Amino acid sequence: MQCIIDRRAEFSASHRYWLPELNELENQKNFGACSRFPGHGHNYVLYVSLLGEIDQYGMVENLSYVKSVIKKEVTSQLDYSYLNEAWPEFQQTLPTTENIARIIWQRLAPHLPLYKIQLFETPKLWTDYQGQGMQASLSIKTHFSAAHRLALPQLSQGENEAIYGKCARVHGHGHNYHLEITVSGEIDARTGMLIDLVALQKAVEDYIVEPMDHTFLNFDVPYFQSVVPTAENIALYIAQTLKDPVAALGGELERVKLIESPNNSCEIFCSQAKITAPYLSLQQPAQIN
C-alpha cells in the first residue's frame, strides 16, 4: 500500500525581483516593492512530501536519510543566502516562491521519491509544486468578519431551528472567516511568476473582502438575500465571483477554502469541476455543474 510522508524544514534567505534588461521604472511597475535594492528576506518553511510503499521496516523512506538529503541539497545552500546568487537557476528565472519550489524539486528528485514540494514564504503566501514542468499553484490567505443567519423564509422558526439549530436564531451570529484562495498556472520562464500576485490580492480584496467584511450577509450581500449563507454556499459564491477575475489575470482558480471557525471549514475544488452554475434559489441545493 502506498503512503505519503512529509518532512518539514526551514531556511532564511533574501531575494530581489529585478530583471537587468528592464529599467528601474519597468522593474517597479512589474514587481513593486520587491524590486527595491538590495532586496528583502523571508523565513521560508518547506514541506517535502514523499510517496512510496511501506517497506519491511514500516517506512516509506528512512527519515534520517530524508533529513540529511534536504539539508545537503537545499537548506545548507539556501539558509542565510541571497537567493538571486545562491543557485545558477535563479540567474535565468527569478527566485519567486513558485520558482524556488520548482528548483528545490529538481534538486531533490534524483534522491527522493517526491510527491509534492510545498513552500511557505509567509503564513499567508505559499506554493505547491508536483514536478509538472512549469505548472504550479500559488495560495494566498486573507480574512473578513461577517454575521449571518441560517433560515429558510418559507419555514417556521421551529422548523428552521430543527434544521440549523442555534444558527437560525433571529438576530444571527458572526464569524471571523479565514479565506484561502489557490490559483494555478504556468511559471513564466523569466519572471518566475505564474500570476501577478499584487493584482491577485487586489482582486480578492475588491471582489470579496471589501464587499463582505463587517456585513450581515443575509441583508448586505444581494446574493444571500436568496441563498442561505452556509459556509458551503459562501465558498461557492466566492468561487463563482473570482473565477473570471482570476482568468483575466492569466491564472486558473483552483481552490477556495473557507474556515468559518477552528471546528468548521469547507473547500471548493474549482479545477475538478466547472463552476458555471447560476446563482441558486433557496429551493435548490448548491451544486457545481
Instruction: Please list the active-site residues.
Output: 167, 214, 260
254, 194 in Cβ contact below 8 A?
A: no
11, 74 in Cβ contact below 8 A?
A: yes
One-letter amino acid at 85 equals: E
- How distant is the alpha carbon of residue 116 from its chain centre? 15
- Percentages helix, strand, coil for the chain (3-state, rounded to 5) are 35, 30, 35
DSSP string, 76-93: HHHTTEEHHHHSTHHHHS
Angle, helices 231-248/197-204, rounded to nearest 10 degrees: 140
The grid coordinates of residue 168 equal 437560525
